[in-house]
Structure formats: C-alpha cells, structure tokens
C-alpha cells in the first residue's frame, strides 16, 4: 500500500476485555515495529519483527501483551484483560529491513485505545 495502515483508528473497551490492534506495513517492508505513546511517557518501543520473527519480546509491558506477524506482512498486537493503564496510542512503523539503519521508519496514524 501507499503507507502504513492501522486499524481500528479508535477503540474503546471495558476493563478486563481483550483487544486486538492491526498493522499493515508498506508492501515489501520486512521490518515492523510497535510503539506505545502515552501522556507523560513519550514514545515507548514495544517489539519489532524481521519477517515473521520477533527476536526480543522483553519490551512488552506485561505478559498480557502479545504480538504476532504472519506472511511477513500484517501484524497484530493483542492485549488481554485490558487495564486502564493500557490506555494510550499504539503506533506501528515499518522499514525495508531492520539492518538498514539509514532508512527512516514509516509510521501509521496509530490506534487510540481507551479502557473504561
């Protein structure tokens, strides 16, 4: 596609429910990154994928968070048993290859998650 696409753009959920956030990267980009943007916390790196592989999951905030990527394309970030502190904007970005440090990351418009 023309850019990184994220859905939904907004999600309101009740505390304790599970949510799934979707990211569709730029076609051909093998590297995919998830970030969380919270008021007062800035931009927090969560996890990256090279192809379908996520070598390091230590950046995920808790074991309620998981992420997967299939077919080297679409990625989903799942939050189980949501808590109010999970409320934030979740941003996805992609780049041609994770080893390519010269290329910028291309960001989607994010999913604004509100947990009530």
Binding region for another protein (CB under 8 A): 4, 6, 31, 33, 42-43, 45, 48-50, 55-56, 59, 91, 93, 98-99, 101-102, 104-110, 112
- Min. distance of Cβ 11 from another protein in angstroms? 14
d(C-alpha 74, C-alpha 70), whole Å: 6
Cβ-based nearer residue to another protein, 74 or 105: 105
How near is the Cβ of 102 to another protein at its closest, in Å?
Answer: 5
Q: How far is the CB of 115 from another protein (least distance, A)?
A: 19
8 Å CB contact between 64 and 12: no
* Two tokens, residue 107: 């960001």
Half-sphere exposure of 116 (CA within 13 A, CB side): 4
The rounded distance, in Å, linking the Cα atoms of 72 and 59 is: 21
Toward another protein, which CB reaches closer, 19 or 54?
54
Rounded CA gap, 46 and 27, in Å?
22
Backbone angles phi and psi of 69, in degrees to 5: -145, 130
Q: State the nearest-atom distance from the C-beta of 104 to another protein, in Å.
A: 4
């Amino acid at each position: 596609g023309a850019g990184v696409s994220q859905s939904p753009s907004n999600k309101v959920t009740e505390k304790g429910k599970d949510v799934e956030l979707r990211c569709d990267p730029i076609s051909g980009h093998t590297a995919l990154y998830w970030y969380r943007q919270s008021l007062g916390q800035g931009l927090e790196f969560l996890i990256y994928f090279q192809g379908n592989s996520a070598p390091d999951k230590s950046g995920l905030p808790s074991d309620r968070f998981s992420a997967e990527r299939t077919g080297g394309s679409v990625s989903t970030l799942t939050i189980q048993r949501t808590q109010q502190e999970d409320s934030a904007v979740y941003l996805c970005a992609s780049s041609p290859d994770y080893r390519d440090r010269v290329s910028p990351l291309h960001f989607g418009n994010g999913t604004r998650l509100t947990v009530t």
